[in-house]
A and B are shown apart, each in its own frame.
Chain A
Amino acid sequence: MPDGHQHNVPNPVIDCDGFDASVAELALEILDSAERDALLAHAASCARCTAELHRMSAAADRLTLLAPDCEPPVGFEQRVMESLHAQSGAVTHHRPVRPVRPVRPVRVWQLVAAAVVLFAVGVTVGVLVHRQSGSVAEDGHNEFRYADLVDPVGGHHGSVSLVAGNDPSTDVVLTMSLLNLAPGEYHCVVHLADGSTVDVASWPIGDGGAGVWALPVSNAIGEIRAVSVQDDVGSTIAMTDWPK
């Protein structure tokens, strides 16, 4: 920032009062580097000020919403897409996905439990499926499915989408958006048309109760009967189902 005259000044020792006096400027990122470094050095050793900075930054970030929308110049969208294609190479469907824990083998008791759950879902699908769920479409090779994740009493816990690439038998991406979950370890379980299940990954959910995850799966979309979220002891928390 233009306050360049302060760059040669040694970092002052900042206490909590000094931090409070400048935390708004720090959160809005309008301080010069020397002041910023001094404040961050204090925050690094002060839990109270670190928490204050997080909250003030969250407020400052929201102020960006006030800017008015404005139509970009003609051709902007195309230029951006060309740039994104260039970033990821000519063929792009297999960039590394969000790291997940190693896939764990499916346990026999889980298979039995899942089969029971699947049967129950088959009977009560009308109750379980949210009214927005179950969009199914095909465009040539590409296929897309989307459904909400709901619990047995209709509580909403996010959504699942499946997208097939050029080879719908091997090139499928599952995206799971999770909401309203207690902190803990959760498993994404794919239920196949032949009655079997695959525990494709497990993820931690933190205090916020939410997360967005994506991973490739090795089954064709047509083979996937449902997707469920299970907790670490194998209880089904929420499930979705595609229309027949």
Chain B
Amino acid sequence: MWTSHAQRLDDGALLGAMATGDHAAGEVFVRRHQRTVYGLAFTLCRDSRLAEDLAQQTFERVWKHAESYDPRRASVKVWMLTITRRLCIDVFRANRTRPTDPVELLALLPNERQSVEDVGIARTEVGLLKGVLAGLPEDQCRVLMLASLAGHTTAEIAEMEGIPIGTAKTRLRTALMRVRREVLPAAVPVEVDDA
């Protein structure tokens, strides 16, 4: 096997090899990303057995659709985690029973005394993202985390937060627009130009 050599490949090259059915590339890819994929699945569903199943389904879809990855749209990691999130949301639609603690979700972010530079992640994509979220008003940040990492609807969030649905919608949109403005590359490809 050439697995040890595949370890030198970046994610894009691994996907290219996986698109040809190369299992050694798949093995390296799974080993490289299994903690990340399982971590997101577990964060979203809070059930280790279900998270394992969803993580496995994620890798199966990555394997099946490797050739459709478009590097202009997102990094391999974001593309892969989007698959995980969609699988989780499909499960939520069928059966939502999870309690979510907003404090637990907010704990994923650096606190205001611990800058992103302090934790050495400022230059990474996730570091930039955490920096932006740490700068959001806490009520906006909480709403965004409940929607993105717990899959709650605005109606559920409004009830959890004790606010009107309209307020929850506004906070969510304002927060996501700020993330978009500060995190996305200058030119995220879109099908059409802004009118």
* A residues whose Cβ falls under 8 Å from a Cβ of B: 1-3, 20-25, 27-32, 47-48, 50-51, 54-56, 58-73, 76-77, 79-81, 83-85, 87-88, 92-95, 97-98, 135, 137, 139, 142-144, 146, 159, 161, 163-164, 173, 175-177, 206-216
Given contacts A88-B21, A95-B20, contact A58 B156 (CB under 8 A): no
> Which single member of B23, B149, B191 contacts A67 (CB below 8 Å)?
B149
- B residues less than 8 Å from A87 (CB atoms): 60, 63-64
Please state if B152 and A59 are interface contacts (CB–CB under 8 Å): no
Give residues in B with beta carbon < 8 Å to A: 1-2, 4-6, 8-10, 12-13, 15-17, 19-27, 30-31, 34-36, 38-40, 42-44, 48, 51-52, 55-56, 59-60, 63-64, 67, 69-74, 77-79, 81-82, 84-86, 89, 92-93, 96, 108-109, 125-126, 129-130, 133, 144-145, 147-149, 151-156, 169, 172-173, 175-177, 179-180, 183-184, 188-195
CA A2 – CA B9 in complex, angstroms? Answer: 43
Q: Tell me if B126 and A80 are in contact (CB < 8 A).
A: no
CB-defined contacts of B89 to chain A, threshold 8 Å: 29-30
**What are 11 contact pairs spanning A and B, CB under 8 A?**
A28-B172, A29-B89, A63-B179, A67-B149, A70-B42, A72-B34, A76-B34, A94-B21, A142-B1, A146-B5, A212-B16
> Chain A: interface secondary structure?
mixed
Which 6 residue pairs of A and B lie closest in terms of their CB atoms, listed nearest first? A208-B72, A95-B21, A64-B81, A70-B39, A59-B180, A175-B16
Q: Is the CB of B35 within 8 A of A208?
A: no
Question: Contact between A163 and B2 (Cβ–Cβ < 8 Å)?
Answer: yes
Q: Are A77 and B39 in contact (CB under 8 A)?
A: no
B-side contacts of A88, CB under 8 Å? 21, 23, 63
The one of A55, A83, A137 in contact with B2, judged by C-beta atoms closer than 8 angstroms, is A137
B81 to A25, Cβ gap below 8 A?
Answer: no
Assuming the contacts A25-B147, A61-B74, asked whether A30 and B152 have C-beta atoms less than 8 A apart, the reply is yes
- Nearest chain A CB to B134 CB, angstrom units: 11
Contacts of B52 in A (CB 8 A): 72-73, 76
B77 close to A81 (CB less than 8 A): no
Q: A59-B183, A97-B19, A144-B5 are in contact. Are A65 and B72 (CB under 8 A)?
A: no
Whether the pair A95, B173 counts as a contact (CB closer than 8 A) is: no
